[in-house]
C-alpha cells in the first residue's frame, strides 16, 4: 500500500509498507522539510524521498540525518534518498477568465435556479411585450437541455438560415430568437458535457447575425452552472429577472440564483412570482429582498398560450396573468 503526495518545498514522500500493518500518520513542515512524525512506523517502514530541486550534497546529507533521527525515534527503519535534477512539481493550471464579447446589446438574464417554475414563459412574454412597445428584441434560449422557446413562439420544426457564415435568428411576434431546439431533433436528448454547452452558447451569442437590438433577453437554464458562468463572463448582463413560484421549495433555489448574481456583480432588477394563488400560495417572493415586478396568478390560459405558440400578452392581453406579465415588462423597459 502506498500513500503520498507533494509537500511544501517540492518534496514528495511515499511511505511503503514492506511488512506488518503499522499505521503511519504524517505531519509535514514547509520549506522542504522531512516528515517530523511518522506515528507508529516500525522497522518495516521504507521511506523514499524525491526532492525536485538542485541541492548541494550537504543539504542532502542534512535531510538524511534529520529523517534518520525521526526514524530512530520511532523504532528504526530503512531510509532511501533519491535526488533529481530541477523540475517543478505538478501544478494545476488556472485558466484565464473569458473575455467579454463586444458588440452585444444590453443583456437581461431571466433566471430561476429551479426548473418548472415558468421561467421560459416569463422570458417569452417579456420579449414579446417589449417588442410590442417598439423595441428591437432578441431572445436567446440558453436552456440547452430543455429548450422551450421554439414551442412557445410557434417556431417548432423551423431552422435558422445563415448569412455570411453566421446564423440568422428566426422571427416570431416581433422577436428575433435563437435556440438549440432549432438545430436538433425535437425528441432527441441533448447529452452534452459542459464544454459543449459553453461552445454552443458562445456561438449563439457571438456567431449569430442578430442585427441591431435594443435588448437581448436570455432564457437561462435551471441551476447555477456552466451556462450561467459563460453568460456572465462573455455577455456581462445588465441585469437579471428572477422567476419563482411562492412555495419554499422554489424560493430556496431562487435565493441561490440571487446569490450567484451578487457574487458575480449582476444586478437583480426584480422577481416575477408565478402560479400565485390558492394552490401554491402567494407573496413568497417578497422574502427574496428584491422588488417584486409581478405576481402572475395560476391560470390555465398561461399554459394554453404557451402550447399554442402565442405569448399570452399578445393572445389575451387583458386577462389578469397577461396584465401581470406586461407590468413586469414595463419595469424592465424602464431600466433599459
Give residue-wise pLDDT tens across range 17-33. Answer: 333 333 332 333 333 33
Q: What is the pLDDT of residue 228?
A: 85
Instruction: Name the nearest CA neighbour of 205 among 190, 220, 224, 194.
Output: 220
Looking at mean pLDDT, say which of 91-100, 258-267, 311-320 comes out highest. Answer: 311-320
324 membership: H or E segment, kind and range: helix 320-335
- What does the alpha-carbon distance between residue 186 and residue 250 come to, in Å, rounded to a whole number? 28
Report pLDDT for 64.
Answer: 54
Q: How far apart are CA 33 and CA 65, in angstroms?
A: 12
3-state secondary structure of 254: helix
Query: Which of these, 263, 253, 207, lies nearest to 232 by C-alpha position?
Result: 263
Mean pLDDT score of the chain: 76
**How many helices and strands, by DSSP H and E, does the chain display?**
9, 14
pLDDT in tens, 163-209: 888 889 999 999 999 998 888 777 667 777 777 888 888 888 888 89
- In this structure, the chain runs to a length of 336
Say what the pLDDT of residue 58 is: 53
Q: Mind listing the pLDDT tens digit for each residue in 111-157? A: 988 888 999 999 999 999 999 999 999 999 988 788 899 999 999 98
Residue 83 CB burial class (10 angstroms; 0-12, 13-18, ≥19):
middle
Provide the 3-class DSSP secondary structure of residue 166.
Answer: strand
Eight-class DSSP state of 46: E
The yes-or-no verdict on residue 11 having pLDDT over 70 is no
Rounding to the nearest 10 degrees, give the CA dihedral for residues 156, 239, 113, 95. Answer: 100
**How confident is the model over 67-71, as a mean pLDDT?**
48
What 3-state class would DSSP assign to 259? helix
DSSP letter assigned to residue 277: B
Per-residue model confidence (pLDDT) at position 334:
96
Q: Which residue would you say has higher pLDDT here, 44 or 315?
A: 315
234 confidence band (pLDDT: 50, 70, 90): confident
Strand-pair category, 137-141 with 175-179: parallel
What are the grid coordinates assigned to 322, written together?
Answer: 397577461
**pLDDT on residue 163:** 87
Q: Residue 68 — pLDDT band, cuts 50, 70, 90?
A: low
pLDDT at 69 over 80: no
Percent of the chain with pLDDT over 70: 70
Domains of the chain: 5-83 (no CATH), 107-335 (3.40.50.300)
Q: Is the pLDDT of residue 320 over 90?
A: yes
Q: What is the mean pLDDT of residues 229-250?
A: 91
- Round to whole Å and give the CA distance between 125 and 143: 16
Separation CA 101–CA 109 (nearest Å): 16
Share of the chain above pLDDT 90, in %: 46
**Strand order, beta sheet including 107-111:** 170-172, 175-179, 137-141, 215-219, 107-111, 239-244, 268-276, 292-297
Whole-number pLDDT of residue 65? 57
Amino acid at each position: 500500500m502506498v500513500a503520498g503526495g507533494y509537500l511544501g518545498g517540492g518534496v514528495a514522500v511515499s511511505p511503503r509498507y514492506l511488512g506488518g500493518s503499522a499505521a503511519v500518520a504524517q505531519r509535514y513542515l514547509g520549506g522542504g522539510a522531512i516528515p517530523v512524525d511518522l506515528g507508529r512506523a516500525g522497522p518495516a517502514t521504507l521511506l523514499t524521498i524525491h526532492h525536485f530541486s538542485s541541492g548541494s550534497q550537504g543539504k542532502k546529507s542534512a535531510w538524511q540525518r534529520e529523517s534518520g533521527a525521526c526514524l530512530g525515534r520511532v523504532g528504526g527503519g530503512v531510509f532511501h534518498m533519491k535526488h533529481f535534477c530541477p523540475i517543478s512539481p505538478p501544478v494545476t493550471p488556472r485558466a484565464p477568465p473569458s473575455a467579454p464579447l463586444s458588440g452585444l446589446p444590453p443583456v437581461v438574464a431571466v433566471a430561476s435556479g429551479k426548473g418548472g417554475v415558468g421561467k421560459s414563459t416569463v422570458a417569452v412574454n417579456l420579449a414579446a411585450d417589449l417588442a410590442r412597445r417598439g423595441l428591437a428584441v432578441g431572445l436567446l434560449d440558453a436552456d440547452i437541455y430543455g429548450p422551450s422557446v421554439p414551442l412557445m413562439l410557434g417556431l417548432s420544426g423551423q431552422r435558422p438560415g445563415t448569412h455570411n457564415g453566421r446564423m440568422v435568428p428566426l422571427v416570431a411576434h416581433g422577436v428575433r430568437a435563437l435556440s438549440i431546439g432549432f438545430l436538433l431533433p425535437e425528441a432527441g436528448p441533448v447529452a452534452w458535457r459542459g464544454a459543449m454547452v459553453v461552445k454552443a452558447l458562445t456561438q449563439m451569442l457571438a456567431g449569430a447575425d442578430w442585427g441591431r437590438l435594443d435588448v437581448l433577453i436570455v432564457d437561462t437554464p435551471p441551476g447555477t452552472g456552466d451556462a450561467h458562468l459563460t453568460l456572465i463572463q462573455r455577455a456581462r448582463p445588465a441585469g437579471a429577472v428572477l422567476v419563482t413560484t411562492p412555495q419554499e421549495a422554489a424560493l430556496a433555489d431562487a435565493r441561490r440564483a440571487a446569490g450567484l448574481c451578487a457574487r458575480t456583480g449582476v444586478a437583480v432588477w426584480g422577481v416575477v412570482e408565478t402560479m400565485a394563488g390558492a394552490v401554491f400560495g402567494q407573496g413568497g417572493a417578497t422574502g427574496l429582498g428584491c422588488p417584486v415586478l409581478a405576481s402572475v396568478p395560476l391560470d390555465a390560459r398561461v399554459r394554453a398560450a404557451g402550447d399554442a405558440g402565442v405569448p399570452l400578452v399578445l393572445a389575451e392581453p387583458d386577462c389578469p396573468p397577461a396584465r401581470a406579465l406586461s407590468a413586469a415588462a414595463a419595469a424592465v423597459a424602464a431600466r433599459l
